[in-house]
C-alpha cells in the first residue's frame, strides 16, 4: 500500500445512521439504531450472530430500504437514487459475493474496466498489487469455485481495495481466516486510514480486531444498541452483557445454555 503510483484523490467521508429500524414481515430485526461514524474513523460494530449486522450493512450500502429512519453518507441520503453514484464506497460481503463466471483477476478488474479508470498496463499493476497485498498472487487466474472460503474472503477484500473507496463497509472481514491473515486484514484497515483517510465501518466478532484498531466500538445485541464507546472504555465497561460478550468465561459447572436469565 505505497503511494508511489498515481492514486485517486481521496477525501474522508462520514456516515450517520438515524433512528434506523428494520422488520422483515412482522419480525423486527433492528430497533431504533442511531450512530454516527466520523470521517476517517474506524468504527467496529460487534454483536452476536444473527442480530442484524449484515442487514445493517446492506442498508448502509443502499441495497435495501429501511422500515424506519434513514442513513446519511457524506451528507446525502443513501435512499436517493443518485447518491450512490456520487460516493466511492465499497462493501465487502460476508460471503464474498464474487462473480462466479469470472476469474479472480477479472473480478478485481471489473470495476476499473466498467468505469474506465486505467489503461491496460496500469490496470494490471493495480490488480496485481491488490492481490499481492492479500497474498493472492497465485490465484489470479483461478475461478471463485476453485478457492477456499478464506481465499474468497480475501479476494472480496482485494476487490474492494481496487475500487479505491473513501468508505469501506466490511462484513466480518476476518471470519474464516487464520489468525495471521486476520491480523493482516486489521493492518490493512488501519493502513488505509493512515494512508488515505479511508473511513471503515466493520462488523465483526473479532475481538482482537475491534480492541486493537477500532477508534470506537458499538455493541449491538438483540436489535438494540447496548453501548458505543472508544475501545479503551469498552474494555473497561461494567455492563455485564458487554463483559460477557467480550470475555466469555467458559463455566462448565453452570453452562450458559442451562442458565435461566
Partner 1 sequence: MKQINKILEDFGSTIILALRAFSYLPCLPRQWYRLVEQCYLIGYTTLPIVAILSFFIGGVLALQAGYSLAPVAAQDFIGSLVGLSLARELAPVMTAILVAGRVGSAISAELATMKVYQEVDALVTMNIPPERILVMPRLIAILIMMPILTIIANLIGWIGGAVVAQNVDFIQLDTRIYFQGIKNFVTFRDILDGLIKAEIFGFVTILVCCNVGLQTVGGPREIGSSVTRAVVISLILILLLDYFVTSVLLKF
Ligand X SMILES: Nc1ncnc2c1ncn2[C@@H]1O[C@H](COP(=O)(O)OP(=O)(O)OP(=O)(O)O)[C@@H](O)[C@H]1O
To partner 1, the closest distance from the beta carbon of 105 in angstroms equals 15
- 163 is a contact residue toward partner 1 (CB under 8 A): yes
Q: Report the distance separating Cα 217 and Cα 42, nearest Å.
A: 9
**61 binds, options partner 1, Mg ion, ligand X, none, Cβ within 5 to 8 A by partner type:** partner 1
Q: Of 77-96, which residues contact ligand X (CB under 6 A)? A: 94
- 228 is a contact residue toward partner 1 (CB under 8 A): no
Q: Report the distance separating Cα 99 and Cα 254, nearest Å.
A: 46
Asked whether the beta carbons of 71 and 93 are under 8 A apart, the reply is no
Sequence-distant (6+) residues with CB within 8 A of 102 are: 110, 143, 144
- 94 is a contact residue toward Mg ion (CB under 5 A): yes
Cα pseudo-dihedral 119, 125, 127, 128, rounded to 10? 160
Q: Report the distance separating Cα 2 and Cα 98, nearest Å.
A: 26
- 24 is a contact residue toward ligand X (CB under 6 A): yes
To Mg ion, the closest distance from the beta carbon of 56 in angstroms equals 9
> Which residue reads 476476518 in cell numbers?
174
> In the chain, what is the straight-line distance between the N-terminal and C-terminal CA atoms, in Å?
48
Stretch that binds partner 1, among 70-78, 98-106, 198-206, 214-222 (CB under 8 A): 98-106
Q: Which of 90, 151, 177, 242 binds partner 1 (CB under 8 A)?
A: 90
Sequence-distant (6+) residues with CB within 8 A of 226 are: 219, 220, 239, 241, 242
To partner 1, the closest distance from the beta carbon of 168 in angstroms equals 11
Q: Which of 1, 29, 102, 226 binds ligand X (CB under 6 A)?
A: 29
**55 binds, options partner 1, ligand X, Mg ion, none, Cβ within 5 to 8 A by partner type:** ligand X
**Checking DSSP bridges between strand 216-221 and strand 42-46, what pairing results, if any?**
parallel
Q: Which of 12, 21, 23, 54 binds Mg ion (CB under 5 A)?
A: 54
Closer residue to ligand X (CB): 54 or 103: 54
Nearest to 60, CA basis, from 25, 40, 33 = 33
Site string for partner 1, 103-122 (x = CB under 8 A): -------xx--xxx------
To ligand X, the closest distance from the beta carbon of 93 in angstroms equals 11
C-alpha cell of residue 177: 481466516
Asked whether the beta carbons of 187 and 22 are under 8 A apart, the reply is no
**51 binds, options partner 1, ligand X, Mg ion, none, Cβ within 5 to 8 A by partner type:** ligand X
Residues lying near ligand X in the complex (CB under 6 A): 24, 29, 49-55, 94
Residues making contact with partner 1 (CB under 8 A): 58, 61-63, 84-85, 89-91, 93, 95, 97-101, 110-111, 114-116, 163
Amino acid at each position: 500500500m505505497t503511494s508511489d503510483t498515481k492514486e485517486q484523490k481521496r477525501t474522508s467521508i462520514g456516515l450517520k445512521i438515524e433512528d434506523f429500524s428494520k422488520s422483515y414481515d412482522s419480525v423486527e430485526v433492528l430497533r431504533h439504531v442511531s450512530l454516527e461514524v466520523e470521517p476517517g474513523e474506524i468504527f467496529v460494530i460487534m454483536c452476536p450472530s444473527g442480530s442484524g449486522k449484515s442487514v445493517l450493512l446492506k442498508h448502509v450500502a443502499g441495497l435495501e430500504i429501511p422500515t424506519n429512519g434513514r442513513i446519511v453518507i457524506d451528507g446525502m441520503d443513501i435512499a436517493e437514487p443518485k447518491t450512490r453514484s456520487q460516493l466511492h464506497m465499497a462493501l465487502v460481503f460476508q460471503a464474498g459475493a464474487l462473480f462466479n463466471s469470472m476469474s479472480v483477476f477479472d473480478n478485481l478488474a471489473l470495476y476499473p474496466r466498467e468505469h474506465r479508470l486505467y489503461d491496460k498496463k496500469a490496470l494490471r499493476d493495480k490488480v496485481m498489487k491488490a492481490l499481492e497485498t492479500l497474498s493472492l498472487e497465485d490465484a489470479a487466474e483461478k475461478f471463485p469455485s476453485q478457492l477456499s472460503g478464506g481465499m474468497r474472503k480475501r479476494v472480496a477484500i482485494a476487490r474492494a481495495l481496487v475500487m479505491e473507496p473513501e468508505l469501506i463497509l466490511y462484513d466480518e472481514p476476518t471470519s474464516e481466516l487464520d489468525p495471521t491473515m486476520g491480523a493482516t486484514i486489521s493492518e490493512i484497515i488501519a493502513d488505509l486510514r493512515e494512508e488515505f483517510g479511508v473511513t471503515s465501518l466493520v462488523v465483526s466478532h473479532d475481538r482482537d480486531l475491534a480492541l486493537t484498531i477500532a477508534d470506537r466500538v458499538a455493541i449491538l445485541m438483540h436489535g438494540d444498541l447496548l453501548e458505543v464507546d472508544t475501545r479503551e472504555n469498552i474494555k473497561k465497561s461494567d455492563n455485564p452483557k458487554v463483559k460477557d460478550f467480550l470475555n466469555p468465561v467458559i463455566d462448565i459447572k453452570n453452562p450458559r445454555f442451562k442458565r435461566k436469565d
